[in-house]
Amino acid sequence: TGHAGRAGDAGHASDDLFDRARRVIPGGVNSPVRAFRSVGGTPRFLVSARGPYVTDADGVEYVDLVASWGPAILGHAHPQVVQAVQDAAARGLSFGASTPAETELAELVTARVTAGGRSPVERLRLVSTGTEATMTAIRLARGATGRELIVKFAGHYHGHSDGLLAEAGSGLATLAMPASSGVTVATAAQTLVLPYNDLDAVRAAFAEHGGNIAAVIAEAAAANMGVLAPLPGFNAELARIAHEHGALLILDEVLTGFRVGPAGWWGLEASDPAPDLFTFGKVIGGGMPVAAIGGRAAIMDLLAPLGPVYQAGTLSGNPVAVAAGLATLRTADAAVYARLDQAAETVSAAVSDALDAEGVAHRVQRAGSLFSFVFGQDAAATAPLDYAEVQRQEAYRYPPFFHAMLDAGVSLPPSVFEAWFVTAAHDDAAIGRIVEAAPAAARAAAS
Ligand code: PLP
């Protein structure tokens, strides 16, 4: 292995693999942002990953700041996680019946998401993807309240279920799509989209539609329009307003959960009143397909078989996937979170310094160990608070920056509207390579 050195072009292997993929897979990818549409060039086809590094089909190694879009907090192929997966696989891949490990994972999550001796997560139902988790949380909120409307925030991504795709950030922001074709008008009409961090807009929506709003859903800290933390007290006030009108708050911690801290973003804020429902994903599966809905027993027990709200899954609570999640959470101790915070601080500061040195106006956006950059004088002068403000940035500076980093052997998220993800395996050597690559990338962003 060695450094990438092909000036923006993938090696032959990735070019050939992408051509071949495009003949059988739409766009050559199984998730849109992977296609490099907003940064240009050929996506690297990866063949292995270890610690803070990924290796492409040409044998080129990159320091990875994607971390599988969040799950890999311990670094790739962590020995304890791999061992747990191998042991579980040897006992059988899937039973379609209950296993002891599912209860252990639910107990662990309940114990972690606790403040003042009480957990707002009294029950947990495992599913396979974050999309399923938020979709189920919404069905549950509708079932619990008998109401139809959902409030979401522009730029918040909650997966790709029909009702949650309006102004949804992430891949839609990357591809400049306001919403998805194929969603019925009737479904779209049941989602009210509001500007983030705007409690007046929330109060106005409840004043007008309060009697028919089932739930507000919000990312615990937004990280799918780049990183954008909530204003202090925002999540607590959301819960207060929702409760005042008999609605629920669903806090989406699919991305933040067990990444920004041992109890997720809610653990950092301990906002009170607590959210009614939580969604988790990514880290909870340690790189395997596990996600979850959690919350108060009175609401969660409305799920089948106890209650009238249906939800199910052939592979829900899959034993191999649960083993990966359990091993990841058990290994993610205070030292791991300290390491993530420190790596985020070092990398974001070094890149920010490099941009300053080249006179590239920008702001570092942080939410715990999650971070990203917004470009331009406006963003540098005033912190953006919502999707409209984030979209006004000088996004054109990111593609040349991204490719200069890639050429130097650093793999960033291929969109300015995504968070950067460090892992606890980002040691001095890996971080050193990022720091070394930053000045040339900043120069590319300046031009
Ligand atoms: N919710 C949030 C906050 C997310 O970031 C994501 C994925 O990025 C999802 C939900 C959807 O999760 P999945 O991709 O596992 O369906």
Q: What is the pLDDT of residues 208-240, one digit of tens each?
A: 999 999 999 999 999 999 999 999 999 999 999
pLDDT greater than 60 at residue 3: no
Q: What is the pLDDT of residues 230-282, one digit of tens each?
A: 999 999 999 999 999 999 999 999 999 999 999 999 999 988 999 999 999 99
Domains of the chain: 79-331 (3.40.640.10), 351-362+375-398 (no CATH)
Residue 158 CB–ligand 1 contact under 6 Å: yes
Burial class (CB in 10 A: 0-12, 13-18, 19+), 100: exposed
Q: What is the pLDDT of residues 68-101, one digit of tens each?
A: 999 999 999 999 999 999 999 999 999 999 999 9
Active site residue 282: yes
Instruction: Quote the pTM value.
Output: 0.96
Alpha carbon distance 205, 210 (integer Å)? 7
Q: What is the pLDDT of residues 312-365, one digit of tens each?
A: 999 999 999 999 999 999 999 999 999 999 999 999 999 999 999 999 999 999
| 166 — pLDDT class (breaks 50, 70, 90) | confident
Q: What is the pLDDT of residues 361-406, one digit of tens each?
A: 999 999 999 999 999 999 999 999 999 999 999 999 999 999 999 9
Residue 134 CB–ligand 1 contact under 6 Å: yes
Q: List, as one string, the DSSP characters of 152-203.
A: EETT----S-GGG-TT--HHHHHTT-SS-TT--HHHHTTEEEE-TT-HHHHH
Active site residue 152: no
Using DSSP's 3-state secondary structure scheme, residue 207 falls into helix
Beta-bridged to residue 218, according to DSSP, are 251
Take residue 362 and report the two structure tokens written for it.
């920008």
User: What separation in Å is there between the alpha carbon of 46 and the centre of ligand 1?
Assistant: 22
Take residue 347 and report the two structure tokens written for it.
């990398």
Q: What is the ipTM of this complex?
A: 0.99
Alpha carbon distance 260, 263 (integer Å)? 8
Average pLDDT of span 175-188: 83
- Residue 20 has a pLDDT of 97
Take residue 49 and report the two structure tokens written for it.
């990953």
Alpha carbon distance 386, 14 (integer Å)? 37
Task: Find the catalytic residue in 56, 58, 252, 276.
Answer: 252
- Residue 196 has a pLDDT of 98
User: What separation in Å is there between the alpha carbon of 157 and the centre of ligand 1?
Assistant: 7
Active site residue 272: no
- Residue 117 has a pLDDT of 85
